[in-house]
């Protein structure tokens, strides 16, 4: 900061001094995007004369006549040298476009509780800047990390507005405890609960949705133990540090806006009425039925042939495309305005934004309004006050999705012969009129629920409102040279309220509606105190020490109010609310805290040998006194080989090797899992009028951290003067005492128990390459990252695979297989003679018997390889950026296929079912159609055909983003000039190459809990596909 200020001050002085210059060199310095670069240094002849560029990137360097070597430099950019020849009295203009330095050894990287020069970093850290985040338009900022960093697997959720992503850093290392990385915003570990409302409406709340991506300066992803060790008990699944923008010298206004629309990246191919009836009739006849088949919603099997025939004919009169009724075009637009201002003793960043993100699901949108103020004040040289505060509100206009309704209904129980609106009058059993022509046609699904996706969408009111404020105040003292003492206090407030009103029009026989409000509050306080000291031990060695402590407490509260009979939307009408009789249920508060002591020592020798040790002691309220505190050390070292005097290579311009070992932990489990508890209810649960007392949960006083021991080694190389840079890393992470919420035999008196049970291995390699393929006027840069992770659940104690399951997703814990393995009956083929499905038992023998005891590992949702490739082309003021992401080797369990492509039921089916067996000799993908699940060997009444037939290859290559931009360096002159304007057009998810026959090979469905989230990646169940979005945007600063 001091350096920056002095540069700017020097520049300003020089600017003043050169107003009367006689001759010399002038021009504009821009970056690779054509953006002006203030503060760049222009030196002539080895430092004899120098100036810095102004806020517009302009410079004016006085030079005498003669031959000069002029160097242009800026931190993080490659130094450029130009030969200039001036005659007497001559002035020349020389514009320079800087290119970023791939190695950026002097760049500053944010690490835990501090910053470090990139050169000194001994851990594995991926840095992503604000441009990379804002360049891809996503429902939530974290989705923009996809494909940007090796070893960071980002799977964007469904196309539902506001949906989050699933991020895994170097694989899955947890089973029942949350496996997400720790998110830290400006030093505060933030609330990241995805299950405040469970999976209500087939959607998990996204705790990151209210963060404005335009506020983010950079994101650092800490991957190995050397980097995450300082976060000790919470670093096992990686740490994502989010640094927001702060003020800078001068005054800069930033404005950006975009508008666009979106459609689904793919659409389901459901049968039309004629197809469905034909197949249903075929199934009926295959089963021995005669006459016309009975039709769900119209007739039953016991009806007379005449009745069935008439219903069949009636059904043919309607052909509703329910998918079309639920899917449309999402409109989106956003506006963001920020100001950066800085001076000698203060600087400030203030930003506001509005984002309205409509999804392609009709009626669904997510609106975010946010504001942030980050201010720094330095009243005296030895003290600095830093304040960060954000306030945001997210309003999610909800719709039912997936299994909850909407498009999910269109893909399942909404049969094509059901009309949207009635064309006749419906009478009740007592002869009263229940519905008139033009009313919604309401049908019942197999569970007895009243359905009609259009009626529900148009009539139901469902709004989730999140208010979020993340605040931090720090005081930094500098009592002596190189000693910094920092005290911080943070407060993260989250309030999520969900209001639902179901009007009577979506019930078959009711004159009243019902309403519910669910409110959840999470209050998260954080205090930390650190002391940071750097000293020169000798001329060639320095020592940096950091010591600190931290305390964090999180309180969660909530309540629900249910209104059984209301006449209107009570939450939008105070008069209705006043007379409504609500039943309030107050959730038990939940609290937890962490108390931590930590230290870090960095030793640097000759500016090329780097050593680091970290240690952290964490105490957590989630553990009993037996195992309350955990110790998490790490050791690491780095060696910049290319700085050795003996190192000479014409090819290799940079070489750095580093290695680390460390221990990290995970304590992300429910707050009171360790307690044995009893209940003595006073809510009327009595037997014979007598009070009762009974156990709720078994105690486990020995519940402790799950710990990961990680070894990491990497080598960074630069070739041909860093024209090509690479980083190759290897890691081996062994996670032990992994926490499982084990399903216990009922004979123990309980059905589940939290325990440290499993061992998980994650081992992998990561490769990053950045290549400047073409330089000059036409530039082409390619960045590739690639990661291979091997995941194995090595041990689950004396338990069986069914001990832990991923919700309803048929994923189990199978020793020797990855976390997230599918445990199903293996399908072999369709018998060409009988048309029956042939299965394989565990021994591999073919059988017609479907037997759950023969379930086995049939694939997993973890990819063998993931990565991304970004190609950037620049020509003059134009730039074109293409980001492709890929995943190879993962399977996807298309769980809804078991109904869409299985037994013919009251679900509509997909057109793939047309490839079914029809007569002896047929070689078909799907067996003979049947209405009787026992035909396939299933228990009667259970048409849930869970077989490997629906486990598909989920490999894909996706053009994630394509952006074309044009930069206008300057509009206008003088004080009110707009220094640069960039307009861009982008497409997200333009195309996907995949063999997956379902909707979207990249899927994150709704999960029931953290365990499900860990265990069921790549399971889809009527999950809406991602959107394909087209956006026009403009960014400007002035």
Partner 1 sequence: MQTTMKSLRHIAGIAGCALLLTGCDKMLEFEPGDVILAEDAINTADDLQRMLNSNYDVLANLLNGRQQCIAELLTDNMARPYSSLDYTAVWNRETNFFTPTTGGLYTDFYYAIYRANVVVESFDLVEGLDDATRLRLEAESRFVRAVCHWYLVKMWAYPYGFTADNSHLGVPLRTDAVAPPSPRATVAEVYAQIVEDLEFAKANLPDENGPYASSMAASGFLAHVHFQRQDWNASQAEAERVIGSGLFQLDDDLDRYEAGSDSVLAGDLINPETVFGIIGGYFAVDGDSLLNDRSYAFRDNFRQDNNLNPQMTFSDEIHQLFQINQADDRGAWINSNEVTHKVTRFDGKQFFNVPVVHLTGLHLLRAMSIAENGGDLSTAIADINAIRDRAFGADQNDLGPGSDAGTVLAAAREEYRKETLCEGWELDQVKLRGVMGEDETVRGAPWDCPGSLLQFPNSSTTAAGFILNEEGGCL
The residue (of 290 and 688) whose beta carbon lies closer to partner 1 is 688
Q: 641: which 2 tokens?
A: 């080989």
Query: 619 has which bridge partners?
Result: 595, 629
Q: How far apart are the first and last CA of the chain?
A: 22
The residue (of 645 and 746) whose beta carbon lies closer to partner 1 is 746
Is the distance from CB of 642 to CB of 654 less than 8 angstroms? Answer: yes
Among 343, 676, 816, 920, binds partner 1 (CB under 8 A): 676
> Distances in Å between the alpha carbon of 813 and those of 161, 572, 804, 1012?
32, 46, 6, 11
- In whole angstroms, how close is the CB of 599 to partner 1 at the nearest point? 7
- In whole angstroms, how close is the CB of 624 to partner 1 at the nearest point? 10
The residue (of 81 and 686) whose beta carbon lies closer to partner 1 is 686
Q: 254: which 2 tokens?
A: 């930033």
675 binds partner 1 (CB under 8 A): yes
853 binds partner 1 (CB under 8 A): yes
Region 748-787 residues binding partner 1, contact defined as CB under 8 A: 748-751, 753
Among 685, 971, 977, 993, binds partner 1 (CB under 8 A): 685
Q: Which stretch binds partner 1 (CB under 8 A): 24-32, 127-135, 397-405, 848-856?
A: 848-856
Region 231-260 residues binding partner 1, contact defined as CB under 8 A: none
747 binds partner 1 (CB under 8 A): yes
Q: Supply φ then ψ for residue 113, to 5 degrees.
A: 60, 35
527 binds partner 1 (CB under 8 A): yes
Secondary structure letter of residue 460 according to DSSP? -
531 binds partner 1 (CB under 8 A): yes
Q: Which stretch binds partner 1 (CB under 8 A): 167-175, 371-379, 575-583, 934-942?
A: 934-942
Among 672, 865, 873, 966, binds partner 1 (CB under 8 A): 672
Among 3, 87, 93, 688, binds partner 1 (CB under 8 A): 688
Region 620-659 residues binding partner 1, contact defined as CB under 8 A: 620-621, 628
The residue (of 495 and 553) whose beta carbon lies closer to partner 1 is 553
Region 798-817 residues binding partner 1, contact defined as CB under 8 A: 798-800, 802-803
Q: 946: which 2 tokens?
A: 């869970």
The residue (of 620 and 967) whose beta carbon lies closer to partner 1 is 620
Q: 844: which 2 tokens?
A: 């591999």
The residue (of 92 and 553) whose beta carbon lies closer to partner 1 is 553
Among 53, 210, 530, 989, binds partner 1 (CB under 8 A): 530
Residues 6+ apart with CB under 8 A from 133: 141, 144, 145, 213, 216, 219
383 binds partner 1 (CB under 8 A): no
Inter-helix orientation angle 273-286/305-315, to 10°: 150
Closest to 270 in 3D by CA, of 207, 226, 325 = 325
CA 767 to chain centre: 22
Specify burial of residue 487 (Cβ count, 10 A radius: 0-12, 13-18, 19+). middle
SS3 assignment for 562-599: EEEEECCCHHHCHHHHHHCCEEEEECCCEEEEEEEEEE
Q: Which stretch binds partner 1 (CB under 8 A): 6-14, 139-147, 744-752, 867-875?
A: 744-752
715 binds partner 1 (CB under 8 A): no
Q: Which stretch binds partner 1 (CB under 8 A): 12-20, 74-82, 336-344, 686-694?
A: 686-694
Q: Which stretch binds partner 1 (CB under 8 A): 206-214, 350-358, 672-680, 995-1003?
A: 672-680
SS3 assignment for 172-212: CCCCCCCCCCEEEECCEECCCCCCCCCCHHHCCCCCCCCCC
Alpha-carbon distance of 8 to 3, in angstroms, equals 9
CA 934 to chain centre: 41
The residue (of 595 and 765) whose beta carbon lies closer to partner 1 is 595
Site string for partner 1, 480-499 (x = CB under 8 A): x-xx-x--------------
Residues 6+ apart with CB under 8 A from 200: 404, 498, 518
873 binds partner 1 (CB under 8 A): no
- In whole angstroms, how close is the CB of 589 to partner 1 at the nearest point? 6
Closest to 752 in 3D by CA, of 810, 694, 804, 798 = 804
Q: Which stretch binds partner 1 (CB under 8 A): 225-233, 873-881, 932-940, 947-955?
A: 932-940
Residues 6+ apart with CB under 8 A from 89: 22, 23, 65
Site string for partner 1, 147-186 (x = CB under 8 A): ----------------------------------------
**How many residues make contact with partner 1 (CB under 8 A)?**
80
Among 684, 844, 921, 974, binds partner 1 (CB under 8 A): 684
The residue (of 485 and 657) whose beta carbon lies closer to partner 1 is 485
Among 64, 437, 939, 972, binds partner 1 (CB under 8 A): 939
Within 10 angstroms of residue 224's Cβ, the number of other Cβ atoms is 32
593 binds partner 1 (CB under 8 A): yes
Q: Supply φ then ψ for residue 825, to 5 degrees.
A: -70, 130
Q: Which stretch binds partner 1 (CB under 8 A): 449-457, 689-697, 971-979, 984-992?
A: 689-697
379 binds partner 1 (CB under 8 A): no
Q: 697: which 2 tokens?
A: 């949960």
- In whole angstroms, how close is the CB of 412 to partner 1 at the nearest point? 18
Region 690-709 residues binding partner 1, contact defined as CB under 8 A: 690-696, 698-699
- In whole angstroms, how close is the CB of 263 to partner 1 at the nearest point? 39
Alpha-carbon distance of 562 to 583, in angstroms, equals 5
Alpha-carbon distance of 125 to 231, in angstroms, equals 14
Among 329, 743, 779, 832, binds partner 1 (CB under 8 A): 743
995 binds partner 1 (CB under 8 A): no
The residue whose two tokens read 């539902």 is 160
Q: Which stretch binds partner 1 (CB under 8 A): 491-499, 747-755, 769-777, 840-848?
A: 747-755
Question: b vs e for 592-625, b when ≥16 Cβ sit within 10 Å of the residue's Cβ?
Answer: bebbbbbbbebbbeeebbbbbbbbbbbbbbbbee
849 binds partner 1 (CB under 8 A): yes
343 binds partner 1 (CB under 8 A): no
């Amino acid at each position: 900061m001091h350096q920056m200020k002095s540069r700017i001050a020097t520049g300003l002085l020089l600017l003043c001094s050169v107003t009367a210059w006689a001759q010399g060199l002038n021009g504009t310095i821009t970056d690779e995007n054509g953006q002006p670069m203030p503060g760049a240094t222009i030196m002539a002849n080895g430092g004899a004369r120098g100036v810095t560029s102004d806020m517009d990137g302009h410079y004016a360097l006085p030079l005498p006549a003669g031959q000069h070597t002029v160097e242009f430099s800026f931190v993080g950019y490659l130094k450029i040298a130009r030969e200039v020849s001036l005659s007497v009295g001559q002035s020349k203009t020389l514009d320079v476009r800087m290119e970023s330095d791939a190695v950026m050894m002097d760049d500053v990287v944010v690490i835990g509780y501090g910053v470090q020069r990139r050169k000194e970093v001994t851990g594995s850290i991926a840095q992503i800047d604000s441009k990379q985040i804002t360049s891809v338009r996503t429902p939530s900022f974290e989705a923009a990390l996809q494909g940007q960093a090796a070893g960071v697997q980002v799977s964007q959720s469904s196309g539902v507005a506001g949906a989050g992503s699933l991020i895994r850093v170097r694989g899955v290392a947890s089973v029942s405890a949350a496996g997400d990385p720790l998110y830290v915003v400006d030093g505060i570990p933030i609330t990241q609960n995805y299950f405040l409302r469970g999976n209500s409406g087939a959607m998990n709340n996204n705790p990151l949705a209210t963060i404005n991506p335009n506020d983010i300066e950079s994101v650092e992803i800490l991957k190995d133990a050397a980097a995450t060790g300082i976060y000790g008990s919470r670093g096992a699944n990686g740490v994502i540090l989010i640094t927001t923008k702060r003020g800078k010298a001068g005054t800069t206004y930033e404005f950006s806006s975009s508008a666009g629309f979106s459609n689904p990246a793919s659409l389901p191919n459901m049968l039309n009425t004629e197809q469905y009836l034909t197949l249903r009739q075929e199934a009926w006849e295959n089963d021995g039925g005669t006459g016309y088949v009975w039709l769900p919603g119209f007739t039953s099997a016991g009806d007379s042939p005449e009745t069935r025939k008439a219903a069949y004919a009636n059904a043919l009169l309607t052909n509703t495309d329910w998918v079309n009724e639920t899917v449309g075009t999402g409109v989106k637009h956003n506006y963001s305005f920020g100001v950066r201002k800085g001076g000698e003793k203060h600087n400030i960043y203030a930003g506001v934004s509005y984002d309205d993100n409509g999804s392609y699901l009709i009626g669904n949108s997510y609106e975010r309004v946010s504001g942030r103020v980050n201010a720094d004040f330095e009243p005296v040289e030895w003290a600095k006050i830093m304040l960060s505060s954000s306030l945001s509100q997210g309003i999610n206009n909800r719709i039912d999705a997936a299994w909850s309704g909407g498009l999910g209904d269109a893909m399942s129980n909404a049969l094509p012969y059901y009309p949207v609106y009635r064309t006749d009058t419906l009478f009740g059993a007592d002869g009263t009129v229940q519905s008139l022509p033009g009313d919604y046609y309401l049908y019942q699904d197999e569970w007895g629920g009243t359905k009609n996706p259009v009626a529900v969408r148009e009539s139901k009111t469902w709004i989730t409102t999140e208010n979020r404020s993340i605040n931090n105040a720090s005081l930094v003292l500098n009592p002596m040279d190189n000693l910094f003492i920092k005290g911080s206090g943070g407060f993260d407030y989250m309030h999520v309220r969900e209001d639902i009103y179901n009007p009577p029009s979506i019930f078959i026989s009711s004159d009243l509606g019902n309403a519910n409000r669910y409110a959840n509050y999470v209050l998260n306080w954080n205090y930390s105190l650190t002391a940071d000291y750097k000293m020169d031990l000798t001329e060639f060695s320095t020592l940096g020490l950091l010591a600190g402590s931290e305390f964090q407490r999180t309180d969660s509260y909530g309540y629900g109010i249910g209104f059984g009979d209301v006449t209107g939307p009570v939450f939008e009408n105070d008069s209705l609310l006043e007379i409504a009789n609500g039943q309030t249920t107050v959730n038990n508060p939940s609290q937890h805290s962490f108390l931590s002591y930590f230290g870090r020592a960095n030793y640097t020798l000759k500016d090329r040998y780097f050593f680091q040790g970290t240690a952290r002691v964490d105490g957590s309220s989630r553990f009993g006194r037996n195992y309350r505190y955990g110790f998490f050390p790490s050791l690491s070292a780095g060696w910049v080989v290319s700085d050795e005097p003996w190192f000479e290579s014409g090819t290799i311009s940079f070489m750095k090797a580093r290695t680390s070992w460390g221990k990290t932990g995970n304590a992300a489990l429910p707050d009171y899992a360790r307690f044995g508890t009893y209940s003595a209810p006073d809510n009327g649960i009595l037997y014979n009028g007598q009070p009762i007392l009974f156990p709720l949960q078994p105690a486990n006083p020995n519940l402790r951290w799950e710990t990961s021991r990680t070894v990491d080694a990497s080598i960074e190389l630069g070739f041909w003067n860093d024209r090509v840079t690479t980083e190759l890393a290897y890691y081996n992470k062994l996670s032990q005492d992994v926490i499982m919420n084990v399903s216990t035999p009922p004979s123990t008196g309980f059905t589940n128990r939290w325990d440290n049970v499993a061992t998980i291995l994650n081992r992998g390699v990561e490769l990053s390459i950045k290549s400047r393929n073409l330089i000059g006027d036409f530039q082409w840069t390619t960045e590739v990252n690639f990661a291979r992770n091997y995941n194995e659940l090595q041990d689950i104690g004396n338990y069986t695979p069914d001990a832990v399951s991923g919700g309803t997703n048929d994923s189990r814990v199978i020793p020797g297989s990855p976390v997230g393995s599918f445990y199903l009956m293996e399908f072999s083929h369709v018998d060409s003679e009988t048309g029956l499905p042939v299965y394989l038992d565990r021994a591999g023998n073919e059988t017609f018997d479907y037997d759950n005891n023969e379930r086995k590992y049939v694939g997993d949702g973890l990819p063998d390889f993931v990565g991304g490739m970004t190609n950037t082309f620049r020509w003059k003021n134009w730039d074109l950026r293409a980001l492709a992401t890929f995943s190879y080797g993962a399977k996807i369990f298309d769980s809804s296929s078991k109904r869409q492509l299985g037994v013919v039921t009251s679900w509509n089916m997909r057109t793939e079912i047309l490839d079914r067996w029809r007569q002896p000799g047929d070689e078909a993908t799907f067996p003979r159609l049947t209405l009787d699940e026992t035909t396939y060997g299933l228990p009667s009444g259970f048409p849930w055909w869970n077989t490997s037939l629906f486990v598909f290859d989920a490999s894909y290559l996706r053009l994630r983003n394509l952006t074309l931009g044009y930069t206008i360096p300057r509009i206008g002159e003088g004080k009110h000039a707009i220094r640069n304007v960039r307009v861009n057009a982008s497409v997200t998810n333009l195309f996907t190459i995949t063999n997956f026959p379902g909707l979207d090979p990249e899927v994150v469905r709704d999960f029931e809990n953290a365990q499900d989230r860990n265990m069921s990646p790549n399971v889809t169940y009527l999950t809406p596909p991602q959107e394909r979005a087209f956006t026009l945007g403009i960014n400007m600063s002035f």
